């Protein structure tokens, strides 16, 4: 693998000509929005930002980049959480923004499929599905801005994985441009296709390091006509797990989301937003649960009532409120979705996106909280997230009145302690956000030599010159 080089002005000129001057940015100041991510954790530099319009332009750019060894960084909605979409600060890299590949090519209600280009926003896909009386269930806080290309490249998760699976499970086919410019049209819409290696799965979750995704066929579901949502108070995470299984059992496997929220999260919400918990006395933990399905209206409301009644009897919950209108349901979800924002108002926060087997969640929460308190007395863990997937966002707010920068300077120490516990419990240090730049140096710890060698070999075959995202994912 030869090291990528700073592109010569003539090379930049050739690249700009492919997309046209109005779709290229070469002035440093105008590039700014593409060079920093939302938390300002990474701020890079670039030789140019190119905005191709179709797979053919992507292909022509990559052909030249491969020949001239120009490093390329793909970017969709720039909402990624591990810095993969931001170029390094060398100024040698070219950012390729995919947002102009924004056509919904086809929606087929009989096949339950939708074919979209990589730059279409997740919300646009959800809306197109709804217009065809179907559901595209992928759902996450950034859905108004993130793109399908970014969702597939990071194998995004979100709140409905417990019911429908992650981005990988929702993808039937992909169109990818390889590092040397060849276009692979893998836009199949088959649910069964055992004809050799499933190549689409190599690109999903590869964070742009193996190829640029230009389009995808996604799978659709019947629109849920019946739905019930409740917030329940529980004394500890141990009680949340039987509640999940109870809800799934009574609803016939219809739990489409189940989230855990700690008391401190509700306190932050009530302090920094107009939202209020519908429950009376404060409880140590809360579980937000939703069941949904295509059956007759009202059935799942009854199932939810039955489930909560049984949970009271078994002393799993101490209080509960079922949303009786769409506005009440929305307000419960707004509470959950505002957690990151309200945490910001409490000063610096150190964040982790981890997963452990479901049965290990209580032990993980106990041990990680104790470890953080030992390292930084007064630090305030705010662990919340997708408890049905074993995926906890183990966020920690700074001690009250502490200096935010001094607290954030402990990020590495804290992460090491948290990750040690995750790995000991058989978990993953990145449940849904990916590796990018943030977790790259953990790869030798989390992957065996055989696994790392296979990943390197794949990279060598698909991107022998190492032009795609140098320094990301692989150490
Ligand atoms: P970008 O940020 O632009 O890029 C992300 C990565 O994908 C980069 O490595 C980039 O190079 C690569 N990439 C982008 N487009 C392509 C392409 N076409 N081909 C190849 N590579 C490409 N994530 C979750 O999984 N679950 C959540 O619940 C969740 N909640 C979030 C909530 C908020 C408020 C925010 C800001 C982010 C959240 N995220 C979540 C993270 C983020 O939204 C997802 O990772 C999303 O999938 C990124 O999409 P994007 O279009 O913004 O990609």
pLDDT tens digits, one per residue of 390-415? 999 999 999 999 999 999 999 999 99
Cα–ligand 1 centroid distance for 260 (angstroms): 23
Cα–ligand 1 centroid distance for 340 (angstroms): 16
DSSP code per residue over 386-447: EGGGTEEEEEEEPPTT--HHHHHTTHHHHHHHHHHHHHHTT-BS-SSS--TTTTGGGHHHHS
Query: From the CB of 98, is ligand 1 less than 6 Å away?
Result: yes
Determine the atom of ligand 1 nearest the C-alpha atom of 75.
Answer: 3
Mean pLDDT of 422-446: 96
Phi, psi angle pair for 149, to nearest 5°: -60, -45
**Which residue is it, tokens 């009530």?**
270
Determine the atom of ligand 1 nearest the C-alpha atom of 74.
Answer: 11
Determine the atom of ligand 1 nearest the C-alpha atom of 214.
Answer: 18
Which among 78, 92, 88 is positioned nearest to 39, based on CA atoms? 78
Q: Confidence class of residue 5 from pLDDT cuts 50, 70 and 90?
A: confident
**Which residue is it, tokens 């079922």?**
322
Q: What is the mean pLDDT of the chain?
A: 96
Residue 86 has pLDDT above 80, yes or no: yes
- Are the beta carbons of 114 and 104 closer than 8 angstroms? yes
Residues 325, 330, 331: CA angle, nearest 5 degrees = 100
State how far the Cα of 96 lies from the Cα of 456, in Å rounded to an integer. 23
Query: From the CB of 160, is ligand 1 less than 6 Å away?
Result: no
Out of 54-58, 140-144, 148-152, which region has the weakest mean confidence (pLDDT)? 140-144
Mean pLDDT of 347-353: 96
Cα–ligand 1 centroid distance for 295 (angstroms): 33
State the alpha helices, DSSP H only, in 111-236: 122-131, 148-153, 161-164, 200-203
Q: How far apart are the first and last CA of the chain?
A: 14
Q: Confidence class of residue 475 from pLDDT cuts 50, 70 and 90?
A: confident
Residue 296 has pLDDT above 90, yes or no: no
Query: From the CB of 440, is ligand 1 less than 6 Å away?
Result: no
Residues 6 or more apart whose CB falls under 8 angstroms from that of 420 comprise: none
Query: From the CB of 78, is ligand 1 less than 6 Å away?
Result: yes
Cα–ligand 1 centroid distance for 84 (angstroms): 9
Helix 237-251 × helix 299-313 angle, to 10°:
140
pLDDT of residue 342: 96
Residue nearest to atom 47 of ligand 1 (CA): 151
pLDDT of residue 1: 59
State how far the Cα of 147 lies from the Cα of 128, in Å rounded to an integer. 14
Q: Confidence class of residue 2 from pLDDT cuts 50, 70 and 90?
A: low
Prediction pTM value:
0.95
Query: From the CB of 83, is ligand 1 less than 6 Å away?
Result: no
Cα–ligand 1 centroid distance for 33 (angstroms): 16
Residue 225 has pLDDT above 80, yes or no: yes
Query: From the CB of 208, is ligand 1 less than 6 Å away?
Result: yes
pLDDT of residue 3: 64
List, as own/partner pairs, every contact residues 458-464 make where C-beta atoms lie below 8 angstroms and the sequence separation is at least 24, other chains included: 458/202, 458/210, 459/209, 459/210, 460/1, 462/178, 462/179, 462/202, 462/210, 462/211, 463/178, 463/179, 463/209, 463/210, 463/211, 464/1, 464/179
State how far the Cα of 225 lies from the Cα of 251, in Å rounded to an integer. 14
Determine the atom of ligand 1 nearest the C-alpha atom of 147.
Answer: 51
Q: How far is CA 281 from CA 113, 272, 298, 308, in A?
A: 46, 19, 29, 17
Cα–ligand 1 centroid distance for 203 (angstroms): 14
- Compute the chain's Rg from CA coordinates: 23
Cα–ligand 1 centroid distance for 436 (angstroms): 11
| DSSP β-bridge partners for residue 385 | 260, 392
pLDDT of residue 4: 65
Cα–ligand 1 centroid distance for 8 (angstroms): 30
State how far the Cα of 440 lies from the Cα of 423, in Å rounded to an integer. 16
């Amino acid at each position: 693998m030869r090291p990528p080089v700073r592109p010569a002005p003539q090379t930049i000129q050739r690249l700009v000509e492919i997309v046209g001057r109005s779709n290229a940015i070469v002035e440093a100041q105008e590039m700014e929005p593409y060079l920093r991510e939302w938390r300002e954790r990474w701020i890079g530099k670039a030789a140019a930002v190119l905005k191709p319009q179709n797979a053919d332009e992507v292909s022509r750019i990559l052909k030249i980049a491969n020949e001239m060894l120009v490093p390329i960084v793909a970017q969709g909605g720039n909402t990624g959480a591990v810095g993969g979409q931001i170029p390094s600060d060398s100024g040698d890299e070219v950012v390729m923004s995919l947002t102009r590949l924004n056509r919904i090519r086809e929606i087929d209600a009989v096949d339950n499929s939708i074919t979209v280009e990589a730059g279409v926003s997740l919300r646009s896909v959800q809306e197109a599905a709804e217009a065809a009386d179907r559901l595209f269930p992928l759902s996450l806080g950034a859905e108004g801005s993130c793109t399908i290309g970014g969702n597939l490249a990071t194998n995004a998760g979100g709140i409905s994985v417990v019911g429908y699976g992650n981005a990988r499970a929702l993808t039937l086919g992909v169109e990818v441009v390889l590092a040397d410019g060849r276009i692979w049209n893998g836009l199949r819409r088959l649910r069964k296709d055992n004809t050799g290696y499933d190549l689409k799965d190599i690109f999903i979750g590869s964070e742009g390091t193996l190829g640029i995704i230009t389009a995808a066929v996604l799978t659709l579901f019947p629109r849920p006509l019946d739905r019930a949502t409740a917030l329940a108070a529980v004394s500890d995470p141990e009680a949340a797990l039987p509640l999940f299984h109870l809800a799934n059992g009574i609803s016939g496997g219809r739990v489409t989301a189940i989230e855990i929220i700690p008391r401190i999260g509700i306190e932050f919400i009530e302090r920094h937003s107009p939202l209020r918990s519908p429950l009376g006395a404060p409880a140590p933990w809360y579980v937000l649960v939703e069941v949904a399905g295509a059956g007759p209206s009202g059935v799942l409301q009854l199932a939810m009532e039955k489930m909560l009644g049984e949970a009271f009897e078994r002393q799993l919950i101490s209080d509960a409120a079922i949303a009786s209108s769409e506005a009440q349901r929305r307000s419960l979800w707004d509470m959950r979705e505002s957690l990151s924002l309200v945490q910001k108002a409490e000063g610096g926060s150190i964040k982790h996106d981890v997963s452990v087997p479901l049965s290990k969640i209580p032990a993980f929460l106990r041990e990680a909280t104790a470890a953080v308190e030992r390292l930084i007395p007064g630090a305030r863990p705010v662990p919340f997230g997708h408890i049905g997937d074993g995926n906890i966002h183990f966020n920690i707010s700074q001690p009250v009145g502490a200096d935010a920068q001094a607290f954030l300077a402990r990020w590495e120490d804290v992460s090491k302690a948290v990750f040690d516990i995750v790995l000991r419990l058989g978990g993953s240090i990145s449940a849904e956000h990916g590796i990018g730049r943030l977790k790259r140096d953990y790869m030798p710890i989390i992957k065996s030599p055989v696994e790392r060698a296979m990943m390197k070999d794949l990279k060598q075959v698909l991107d022998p010159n190492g032009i795609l995202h140098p320094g990301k994912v692989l150490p």
